[in-house]
Amino acid sequence: MALPAELCGIICRDSQLTRRDLRVLCAVSRTFRDEAERLLYVTVRLLNFRLVRSWSISLVRRPHLALRVRSLSLTMPPSSSLYPADLSKIHKSLRACSNLQALEVLNDGITYEGDSVQSWILEGHSFRLSKFANTYFHPIRLFRFLAQQSDIRILVLRTSDAADIPYTILPNLNTIDVSANVLRRFVSGYWEGKRPIAHIQYHLSRSSESDHISTFVVLSRFRETLTSLSLHRHGGFDIAIVMATVAVQLPELKFFRFIDDNSFVRYTSSMLCDLVY
């Protein structure tokens, strides 16, 4: 006796089930498959290009699945290893995801960050993103795509290279998560006074202390709108200087977090007050 769709849906939504369990349920019956796929395709995370290719082929064959996708993360290989047919499949798959709200395009850890120039695969789609994350494409190649996505509120650009993003795009942006080079370009030139940025996450590299201090100083341009600042240190910079500079430049900051990869230390805003004042 087949179970009704409502009961299959309740079973599939059990909080104890993993994504692997849902994939198993897809093989139980057509009803279970429909309900499990409804959940599996809401959030899709593809950790290698074999999965990206397989997923793209699935959507070409079964385009109704694309309508369920709300969040998508693609991990991509070096652009030199991709064939035009691969890029075409990805473009067609993205075009089918008309309800997509959050998109990540990430390098595979082998590719140089910001290496790819094939950003045309992101363009010309009907989805309206609220969040976009990129470590794969060179920022300068994203201008046309970002100009088509004026609803983006959260932007993640952790590429080593930076480029000025014209202030006429991304009018709703209020949260950025960026590398050191990108942040320095964000807080100068086109971006000065143009965006009510409320949340910033900044990745500290092994740049000179003078470079970082100058970045903290220009962050004061956002003091009227910035409510939270998160600094992620990957090595090198003195924490005492970080605390003192942030306290002086952003005295009205409501939340501050400092994460140290080397010592696994995490400081919050209350610790900032204790250490500096």
* Dist. CA 89–CA 95, nearest whole Å: 10
* Dist. CA 25–CA 4, nearest whole Å: 14
Higher-confidence residue of 274 and 28: namely 28
pLDDT at 211: 61
pLDDT at 188: 62
Highest averaged pLDDT of the listed ranges 2-16, 160-174, 191-205, 246-260 = 246-260
Percent of the chain's residues with pLDDT above 70: 64
Higher-confidence residue of 227 and 261: namely 227
- Matching residue, tokens 């064939």: 83
> Are residues 179 and 209 in contact, defined by beta-carbon separation less than 8 angstroms?
no
* Dist. CA 98–CA 25, nearest whole Å: 26
**pLDDT-derived band at 71, boundaries 50, 70, 90:** very high
Residue 109: pLDDT above 90?
no
* Dist. CA 113–CA 115, nearest whole Å: 5
What is the mean predicted confidence (pLDDT) over 128-144? 90
What is the mean predicted confidence (pLDDT) over 82-111? 90
What is the mean predicted confidence (pLDDT) over 115-138? 90
**pLDDT-derived band at 273, boundaries 50, 70, 90:** very low
Q: What is the pLDDT of residues 58-68, one digit of tens each?
A: 888 888 889 98
pLDDT at 46: 92
The alpha carbon dihedral of 235, 237, 238, 239 has a sign of negative
Highest averaged pLDDT of the listed ranges 132-146, 197-211, 238-252 = 132-146
